[in-house]
């Protein structure tokens, strides 16, 4: 994942309602009606958040009659988690080796 893609994804997930939607979808596939009930947000607001999540590749749609269900793409979150894991490991190494740049 490229740095700009990481930044965009972090920005997408930083919104509290979108993060709540992602958390809900991690547990089950839900339609917009369920997400409106669970989040307490208005339907138009939830739909706008779902559009952002779709465009970021975090969720995908699944038509079911007159409803559209949403499910999470866990591999997108895995890639972001791996990035943070690598940063944490680099920080541990930096601390252990007491690596610091000298001031001029």
Structure tokens at 31: 């339609």
Closest alpha carbon to 50 in 22, 23, 81: 22
Sheet holding 30-31, edge to edge: 30-31, 67-72, 59-64
Q: Could you give all domains of the chain from N- to C-terminal order, each with its CATH number?
A: 3-96 (1.10.10.10)
Question: Which residues of the chain fall short of a pLDDT of 50?
Answer: 1
pTM (2 d.p.): 0.84
Tell me: the pLDDT tens digits for 23-52?
999 999 999 999 999 999 999 999 999 999
Contact 52, 13 (CB under 8 A): no
């Amino acid at each position: 994942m490229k740095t700009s893609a990481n930044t965009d994804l972090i920005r997408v997930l930083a919104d509290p309602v979108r993060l709540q939607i992602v958390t809900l979808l991690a547990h089950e596939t839900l339609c917009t009606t369920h997400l409106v009930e669970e989040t307490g947000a208005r339907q138009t607001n939830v739909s706008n958040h779902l559009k952002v999540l779709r465009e970021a590749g975090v969720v995908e749609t699944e038509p079911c009659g007159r409803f559209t269900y949403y499910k999470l793409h866990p591999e997108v979150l895995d890639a972001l988690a791996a990035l943070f894991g690598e940063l944490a490991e680099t920080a541990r190494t930096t601390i252990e080796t007491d690596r610091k740049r000298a001031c001029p």
